[in-house]
Amino acid sequence: MDLTVEIKESKIYLSWIDIKADLYKLFMKKEDNLFYECASVSGQNSLRLSLLPYGLHECFIQAIKDGKLIAESDRHQFLFDEVDVEVIHESDREVKFVYSKYEQADGYRLYKDESGVGFNGCKNSDTDYIKFEIGDEKEFKVKPFVKNGEKREFIASSPVVNIDSNQFVSLSVYKSFNYNMFLSWDFQGVADGFLVYTENSQTPIFETTDGLCHCLSLFDYKGSTNFIVKAFVNTINGRLITAVSRKVSLGVRRYKKPEVSLIIPAYNAQDYIVRSIDSALASDFSNLEIIIVNDGSTDDTQKIIDWYDKNYPNVVSIVKENGGVADARNAGIKEAKGKYIAFMDNDDLIRPNMISKLYNSAEKNKCDVAIAPLYRITDGGYTVHCNLPFAEDVPVDIDKYLEIMYTPGYYNCAIWNKLYKASMVKEHPLGKLKYEDVSWTPCILSYAENICFLKTPLYEWDRKTRPETFGDVLARQNEDDLFENRKEAMLFFIKNGNPDKRSYLRTIAKRRLSRYAKNSKNKSYQEMIDKIEAGKL
């Protein structure tokens, strides 16, 4: 079991091949040459370590399954010569800076960034933390030093630390199906995991080593129960709590009018749709209309939708005969009352701030479409998709996006990581095709004048809950049927897209077809490319 250790921005990142163990334990070497367990993770093959002291370190990983050791990595030695800092908010005005220890240091000096002046020293300490009462300053550094007579000689410096990090921005508890509850939080910063407590509990009712986790389904708790969430980082001395949320209990959503309509097509989704609806309801955007379109389900999906429709005034239920996901989305589009429209699949999640972030950017920049990257979640963890090479939160001419669409690195045509101007979507609904996202995304974008882009992933494309999707089924078709469905998608956006952008759309189609052709022996892909180049399509 190979172990890789990397140092990035003063943090230690360890990774290994996942061998499907229940638990992976990290052991670090003490000064007496004995090893001790300092951190563990489950369901992932990587681990981050903070606040490592200066010096030479040695570590290894153990894999545990069914309570037994099944594998162990080799010992790995590495030198750490950085200064790492964690910010802990003690109160609204007091911040505690905890930092890496330098054995040879006589002390540590805190520097703050004063506007127009630069970093100036403001406080010393001879321990491994400094408490400081903050004003308007946002950025700080910590520097260990040795004394040389009356002078200080600095031996290292931490990266710049922003004190806006390590805070819970929002926290909510809402009613979930069958009168359970759903806890959601928006954490600003980087955590290695979270612990959830009831107000009077000494031990957590839930813990996760998923630092991107943002929600929890709650069962068998009274509505008056208060919950607290704590964020932690892994250190050589165990978990360090870096943020504690306020107390929160069951709340009531106040809803006025729909500014954004979120459309969720649903088909035989009884096993997972509750979590998806709950994550949408936990959005911090108040005026969100959630339209759930039951596309002819034969299980208890409608029973679940009916419960939410009855209990939440901003949930709209639409029932129709089975016609496919594009037809279901179009039914939702027809009923949408919001100024903007977003889409979500019935087994995915949105982060609490997704709608508000995209809405605020679209409004500020007067854009037709707001976009953010998304997380693809598998057994291997999170990977980022749809990361575009544009400046953040500024208007970008749509031609710049069309120029790179379906070029290497920008293949993903996701429909759900975007917020669209509703008037544009209502005028150009989806085609009832097999590859509805491939066909519609270039089409609708061609009608936008501009877009705005945010760099933080806000949508979670979950391939763990339901690993096989309709796209996987389509991919198993015979070569001829596969080509015909892909051809339909290309022709849809070439013919139905903005006529003023047709040259872009033809280029996009050729790029997509070329990619398909690389993985197929079917010569029809090249023949279609030739027809597009000859102006016959």
By DSSP bridging, strand 215-218 and strand 180-188 are antiparallel
CA distance 438 to 455: 23
Same domain, 131 and 55: no
Predicted pLDDT of residue 144: 97
The structural domain count of the chain equals 4
Same domain, 229 and 270: no
Span 359-387, pLDDT tens digits: 999 999 999 999 999 999 988 789 999 99
Answer whether residue 468 shows pLDDT above 90. Answer: no
Same domain, 362 and 328: yes
- Does residue 469 sit within a domain? no
Q: What share of the chain is helix, strand, coil (3-state, %, to 5)?
A: 25, 40, 40
Same domain, 274 and 421: yes
Last residue of a domain, one of 21, 50, 80: 80
By DSSP bridging, strand 206-208 and strand 215-218 are unpaired
- Does residue 295 sit within a domain? yes
Instruction: Report the candidate in 371, 368, 372 with the shortest Cα–Cα distance to residue 424.
Output: 368
Predicted pLDDT of residue 434: 85
Amino acid in the structure at residue 124: N
- CATH code of 396's domain: 3.90.550.10
Residue 463's pLDDT band, with cuts at 50, 70 and 90, is confident
- Does residue 39 sit within a domain? yes
Same domain, 224 and 292: no
Same domain, 20 and 152: no
CA distance 98 to 426: 53
Instruction: Report the candidate in 446, 394, 389, 453 with the shortest Cα–Cα distance to residue 418.
Output: 453
Predicted pLDDT of residue 466: 72
- Does residue 306 sit within a domain? yes
Question: DSSP secondary-structure letter at 352?
Answer: T
- For a pLDDT cut of 90, what percent of the chain falls above it? 87
- Its pTM surpasses 0.85: yes
Task: Kindly state the tokens that stand for 115.
Answer: 């506007």
- Does residue 532 sit within a domain? no
Same domain, 73 and 94: no
- Does residue 46 sit within a domain? yes
- CATH code of 218's domain: 2.60.40
User: Domain range for residue 183?
Assistant: 169-244
- CATH code of 148's domain: 2.60.40.10
Same domain, 356 and 386: yes
Predicted pLDDT of residue 409: 87
CA distance 302 to 267: 9
CA distance 171 to 319: 32
- Does residue 270 sit within a domain? yes
Answer whether residue 470 shows pLDDT above 60. Answer: no
Span 263-284, pLDDT tens digits: 999 999 999 999 999 999 999 9
Same domain, 182 and 101: no
Predicted pLDDT of residue 255: 87
Predicted pLDDT of residue 1: 83
User: Which residue matches tokens 């293949």?
Assistant: 411
Last residue of a domain, one of 462, 477, 497: 462
307 sits in which H/E element: helix 301-311
Question: DSSP secondary-structure letter at 314?
Answer: T
Same domain, 264 and 133: no
Same domain, 425 and 311: yes
CA distance 29 to 38: 10
Predicted pLDDT of residue 427: 98
User: Which residue matches tokens 């701030």?
Assistant: 353
Predicted pLDDT of residue 467: 56
- Does residue 349 sit within a domain? yes
Q: What are the backbone dihedrals phi and psi of residue 178, each rounded to the nearest 5 degrees, phi first?
A: 65, 25
Last residue of a domain, one of 462, 486, 502: 462
Q: What are the backbone dihedrals phi and psi of residue 393, each rounded to the nearest 5 degrees, phi first?
A: 55, 45
CA distance 166 to 231: 8
Predicted pLDDT of residue 381: 86
Same domain, 305 and 358: yes
